[in-house]
Structure 1
Amino acid sequence: MPAPHGPAGHGRLLAGTAWAVLLLGLWLWGRDVTDGSGVGSAPTTGDIAAVGRPLGVALPPPHDPIGGAEPRRIEVPSIGVDAPVVARGLDEEGAIEPPPFAEPRTVGWYGDGTEPGAEGPALFVGHVDTETRPAVFYGLSATRPGAKVEVTRADGRVAEFTVDDVQVLTRERFNADRAYGPRKKGRAELRLITCGGTYDRASHSYDANVVVSAYLTGERAKGNGGR
């Protein structure tokens, strides 16, 4: 849904809510989690409700990991995302630094984590809005399972991912394993993360995160439509 806008200057507070919840995921980084049977196999419900997987949607089989390389650009055609990617580290509080607010159409990638195409989940973060207009991941909550995500890498390859799960995770019931851990061992995966849930005008912040999960289903040379 469209995000309401607060007064000028609220941007950093708004971003802080979104990225603070990443602390739990980073604390659990490298921890083995269960295979996640049932994750994405049916619509999600309750306070981590989002679209889940619509019944009857057939998803392609996973492609074997192709090894990692730094991402340069990310595309999600179904929601109109076509954006440059910049590597980001951790801020002084230990959370992933978001892209600068001066670059609202840029996506951040956690550069000390998994590279897209390698086994495990690669983390991508983007703003949902600024003080005055929508930002790069404004439409992320509208993503549906089966949607394609393409990551152009520094090695000239394009890693092709398929969305298999979309959730809105509230701070009160946040599950770091579910958000950041691998959904299935042995797969190359990614997460797309932004603000979500309810916007509080008083604090200029959101109370949840939209987390889109996808897995590698193909790869090709840049400029080549074939696999």
Structure 2
Amino acid sequence: MTVSTAPRAAGHGRLLTGVAWALLLLGLWLWGKDIAAGPGGLSAPTTGDVAAVGRPLGVPLPPARPPLAPAEPERLEIPSLGITAPVVPRGLDGAGAIDPPPYGTADTVGWYRDGTKPGSDGAALLVGHVDTETEPAVFYGLSSARPGERVEVTRADGSVAEFTIDDVQVFARHEFDPRKAYGQRREGRAELRLITCGGTFDQEAGAYTANVVVSAYLTGAGDAPRRG
């Protein structure tokens, strides 16, 4: 399916994206509570309530690397998609949902700071907007990611955690399962979830019909290049 690109009234894009985030992030919050005591069409694989790209034949995936010591993320890069974005920590808002990055920073990725740090044991959650009122945002092309592609997270300790994508799924909003979407797939492994809105735009509900979830696992580590 493809997200509708029909003209919208001024201000409508902000409303629809906000509604979609509210649904997604409420799911993250509920999942977290349960475990511990998100120009052109957006192309997304959609077949039934949950659709997965899976691993194409002939695409070998490397072995997992042992988790790294915890360190906060600073920058995200997905070379195959041309994504390079700063990462900022985000907490919960007054309603108990995770705050997405502000609309004025559509090129920024948010990290759920009360969860796992990217590269350490567990599943770290990174969220980004798919669009703004007038243009695509940082995760607009996320649904085109494919297994075997690389994701790099530069961390505050000067290291770069290198992840390999192993799964791309589109979860329908009305049957969303946060545990399945965000839970750690294999015990003792460092994993990553990249999350945005997807599916089609539901005019009546004022929200997207699904969420794109890209899963990756740690396969390497290195030092961040010096800048400046």
Which TM-score band (shorter chain)?
A: 0.7 to 0.9
Determine the C-alpha separation between the residues in 1 that align with 2:187 and 2:70: 16
Letter in 2 for 1:97: D
Tell me which amino acid in the other structure corresponds to 2:175. Answer: R
- Give the aligned residue type for 1:153: R
Equivalent residues in 2 for 1:41-56, closer than 5 Å: 46-56=48-58
Distance 1:144 1:51 in 2: 7
Q: Is contact 1:98–1:125 with CA below 8 Å preserved after alignment? A: yes
Q: Structure 1 residue 23 and structure 2 residue 26: aligned?
A: yes
Equivalent residue, structure 1, for 2:137:
135
Pair 130,112 (structure 1): closer, same or farther in 2 beyond 3 Å: same
Which residue identity is paired with 1:163?
Answer: I
Judged with a 3 Å threshold, the aligned counterparts in structure 2 of structure 1 residues 28 and 19 are, in CA distance, closer, same or farther, namely: same
Question: TM-score, normalised on structure 2?
Answer: 0.87
Give the deviation of 1:96 after TM superposition: 1.2
Match of 1:119 in 2: 121
Q: How does 1:87-106 map to 2 (within 5 A)?
A: 87-106=89-108
Aligned ranges 1:1-227 → 2 under 5 Å: 1=2, 4=5, 6-10=8-12, 11-29=14-32, 31=35, 46-223=48-225
Are the equivalent residues in 1 in contact too, given 2:158–2:224 (CA < 8 A)?
Answer: yes
What is the CA–CA distance in structure 2 between the aligned matches of 1:211 and 1:19, rounded to whole Å? Answer: 16
Deviation per CA, 1:82-103: give whole Å up to 9, x if none.
0001111111222111111001
TM-fit CA distance, 1:25: 3.4
Instruction: Give yes or no for contact 1:3–1:129 (8 Å, CA) kept in 2.
Output: no
For 1:3 and 1:80, the matched residues in 2 are separated by: 23
Task: Output the CA distance in 2 between the equivalents of 1:24 and 1:132.
Answer: 27
> Which ranges of structure 2 fall in alignment gaps of 5 or more residues?
37-44
Deviations 1:75-124 (A, max 9, x none): 01111110001111111222111111001100000111110111001100
- Residues 44 and 52 in structure 1, CA contact (< 8 A), matched pair in contact too: no
1:179 offset after TM fit, Å? 0.7
Task: Choose between structure 1 and 2: higher helix proportion.
Answer: 2
> Matched residues in 2 for 1:61 and 1:46: separation?
31
What's the CA shift string for 1:171-212, capped at 9, x where partnerless? Answer: 222121211100111100110000001112344320110000
Rate the CA distance shift 1:139–1:90 in 2: closer, same or farther, 3 A: same
**Alignment identity in percent?**
60
Amino acid at match of 2:114: D
SS of the residue corresponding to residue 211 of structure 2 reads: strand
| In 2: Cα distance, 1:13 partner to 1:2 partner | 12
**Displacement over 4 Å in runs of 4+:** none
Query: How many residues align structurally?
Result: 214
Distance 2:187 2:210 in 1: 26
SS at match of 1:141: helix
Measured at CA, do residues 99 and 3 of structure 1 come closer, stay the same or move farther in structure 2, by a change above 3 Å?
farther
User: How much is the aligned-residue C-alpha RMSD, in angstroms?
Assistant: 2.1
Counterpart amino acid of 1:126? Answer: G
Q: Is 2:64–2:218's contact at 8 Å kept on the other side of the alignment?
A: yes
